[in-house]
Amino acid sequence: MDQSFNKDSLTRLLDESSNLSINQIKRLLDKMNSAELAHCLESSPPKQRKLLWSLIDYEDEGDVLADLGDEIQQELLVRVLKTTIVKIGF
């Protein structure tokens, strides 16, 4: 992936004043690899991290979790477990 694209995308995504739509954010996330997604999540405040995490494809979540630091990884794993429990009806 082109490094200038990565830097520009991360900058746009992490800039809270960028006014990107959800669809624009999703398109940017879809172009990133798991390490870039992890960096983006780790660089974001909790509220923004929650939104970004919800936009990451389910198939990519495992790879992204593997690239995260322990603290953020645990935070998101708790979220994944709660979501899974709700989906199966417990």
- pLDDT surpassing 70 at residue 7: no
Number of Cβ within 10 Å of residue 13's Cβ equals 21
- pLDDT surpassing 50 at residue 66: yes
Region of 19 on the Ramachandran plot (φ > 0 left; ψ -120 to 50 alpha; else beta): left
- Domain locations along the chain: 3-88
Spelled out in words, what is the top-level CATH class assigned to the domain 3-88? mainly alpha
For 69-86, how does the pLDDT look when each residue is reduced to its tens digit (9 = 90+)? 999 999 999 888 877 776
Q: How far is CA 76 from CA 3, 4, 18, 57, in A?
A: 27, 28, 25, 14
